[in-house]
Amino acid sequence: MELYGIEGEISALVSYEDQNARIKTSDGTYVLKIANAKWAADALAMQTEVLEHLRTVAPELSLPRVIPTLSGETITDVDGFAVRLVTFLEGDVLGNASRSPGLYHDIGCFMGQFSQAMQAYTHPAAHRPDDPWNLDNVIVCKAYLQEVCDENVRARIERFYEMYEKNVLPRLHDLRKSVIHGDANEHNLLVSPDRPRRIQLTSATNEFQKRVASG
């Protein structure tokens, strides 16, 4: 690839809304990420900046490393699409891995370290008060309760909303806030191949831009 000065074997990777490819070279393995055109430029910039932030403040976390182009850009435009390159992490997604108490413990430790490292971080793209993904704005989802077909499930959710509106909503503005991962599901976490109780973060996530109340 002329942009990065690398040459190697390319193979497609599974992705949700973007296009990702694995590039295996003699010097290492990378992930080329071609972003969906729907993602805003500031959100993509934030994702890249978060990885750099975590590399500095939480070097103990196993995360992809951002590779700049030969001209020093971390994100570049190719035919109208934002392109990035990060290092490839070996491992299997959590959804395919054997579960164990030790693995669950490491998931908790990983996310705790991640959240702690993000407490001092902010970015304009993180402030999206009207976004349903923002847990400060969870009350907007109440309008969809009638879409829940199971009456028992719907009643349970209604009780949670009652507690939320009584105990949380009045205090929401006084709670501390920070950027979190927001989507640490079984497809966004990797299990280390040589340490089956060790968690690392995939390069596929687009969920750094969430802000929630905490503490």
pLDDT at 215: 29
Q: Which of 71, 80, 73 is nearest to 45 (CA)?
A: 73
pLDDT at 203: 53
pLDDT at 208: 43
H or E element, residue 34: strand 29-34
Cβ-based neighbour number of residue 108 at 10 Å: 11
pLDDT at 194: 77
pLDDT at 3: 93
Q: Both tokens of residue 210?
A: 């969430």
Q: Which of 10, 12, 29 is nearest to 20 (CA)?
A: 12
- pTM of the predicted protein model: 0.80
pLDDT at 187: 85
Average pLDDT per block of 10 residues along the chain, 215 residues long = 92 89 95 94 93 93 93 95 94 88 91 92 87 87 95 97 96 88 86 78 49 33
pLDDT at 210: 37
pLDDT at 184: 86
